Chain A
Amino acid sequence: MQSLDEDVRLMLAFREGDPRAFDRLFRRWSGPLLRYLERMVRDAASAEDLVQEAFLRVHRSRERYSPDARFSTWLYRIATNLALNELRRPRHKAVHSSIGDEQALPLPSRGPAVDEVVDARRMGGRVEEELARLPEKQRAALCLAAVEGFSYAEVAQALDVTEKSVKSLVHRARSTLAERLREHWGHEE
């Protein structure tokens, strides 16, 4: 895939001392990384901080980058470790319980109709809340696989677990979310 080569090329250029390559990597990856970190830590300010922290570490440890790892896998591995550390801080615990109860909206079990798709936007808070209730590693695995489009092998590298664990983490996360969202949306036979 073209993007792999491009990231690797940029990272190698940065390692060789081209600062604009770093700038480019930042611009390519700060958006997706911010999205991932916000889902992980559920706090916009902390997530922004962690994006900076992750890139700071990329900057510091450029010498240690080896092109056999995808840049994104490396970056997300750094970011995941930072996020897990952040979640272990005591002040973070409070953030998770501050979401109000939203009204359940009906969504048919097969193929949402247009009106409900529009309504589904309002369900965003509920989805995020349920995502936040998942165990950290399940949440990370699901976000990386289903949202960021990582292969299970890449998720395994980012989370430092086996591919088999990734398969199970992703499936448990998706199943739990499916059940909880089904409860909220209601379903008819």
Chain B
Amino acid sequence: MKGELDMPERSAICREIDADLSALIDAELAPEREAEMRAHLDDCDRCAQRLQDLCNVDLALADLAAPMVAADLGQRLAARIASDSGERSVPVPDAASPKRSRTVTPRQPRRSLRRRLMPVAVVATAVLLAIVVANRQSSEVDPDPLQLARTLRSMNPAATLPEAATPGVNFGSLPDEDLAVLFEFDTVEDLDVIANLELLEQFVAMEALEG
């Protein structure tokens, strides 16, 4: 802690800085203001700590497991649209594979409380771990929390093309032909297993890195 932090005029500056910290994380500040903020943060432990705390929120949010879309959600939606509008041949994910003649019986929605991991969460964890591991090897250097928070934010499907952002099984981005393959998995649990296997691989790779 620096003694000068207790000086009142310093506190006033810190309060102004504080009010803009979230906007800094979200890359919403004008370049001049961002430069000003960064200069202050280099100099002020208290504000740097506040930034770290706020960035930790983003890391925690990125690390939350995301729900997997039930394979039959599109079909259930299609049924609702059909009854809503009286239309026939409503677009449904399964209609993408007309060659398959099996009858689709809508599954009962699963109400499991078990959280399902989506690849996005796996990627977020992998990035976090990679940065943490790199950071351990050079123990003096803190990871740039701002960089980390912004990287995680930019990996979210809503911010980028889902196709590009989410490797592995992604119900929402498969081309039509591959959808039939996806439906070969009979339950969402199968997809769950795949996602968890990917996560396991990340941990194994990380342990190997650690030696």
Contact with B along A36-79 (1 / 0, CB 8 A): 00100000110110011001100110000000000010000000
Q: A2-B161, A44-B111, A72-B158 are in contact. Are A121 and B63 (CB under 8 A)?
A: yes
Distance in Å: Cβ of B161 to nearest Cβ of chain A: 5
CB atoms of A60 and B84 under 8 A apart? yes
Residue among B26, B50, B113 with most chain A CB within 10 A: B26
Q: At the interface, yes or no: B205 with Cβ under 8 Å from chain A?
A: no
Partner of A26, one of B57, B63, B77, B170: B77
CB atoms of B67 and A34 under 8 A apart? yes
Distance in Å: Cβ of A166 to nearest Cβ of chain B: 9
Contact with A along B126-138 (1 / 0, CB 8 A): 0011001101100
Q: At the interface, yes or no: A82 with Cβ under 8 Å from chain B?
A: no
CB atoms of A26 and B93 under 8 A apart? yes
Chief secondary structure at chain A's binding surface: helix
Count contacts on A: residues with CB < 8 A to the other chain: 65
B145 proximity list for chain A (CB < 8 A): 111
List residues of B whose CB falls within 8 A of some A CB.
19, 21-23, 25-26, 28, 49-50, 52-54, 56-70, 73-74, 76-77, 80-81, 84-85, 89-93, 95-96, 109, 111, 113, 115, 118, 125, 128-129, 132-133, 135-136, 142-143, 145, 153-154, 156-162, 170-174, 203, 206, 210
A-B contact pairs, 11 of them (CB 8 A): A23-B91, A26-B74, A27-B173, A31-B171, A51-B73, A60-B84, A120-B63, A170-B23, A171-B19, A171-B22, A174-B58
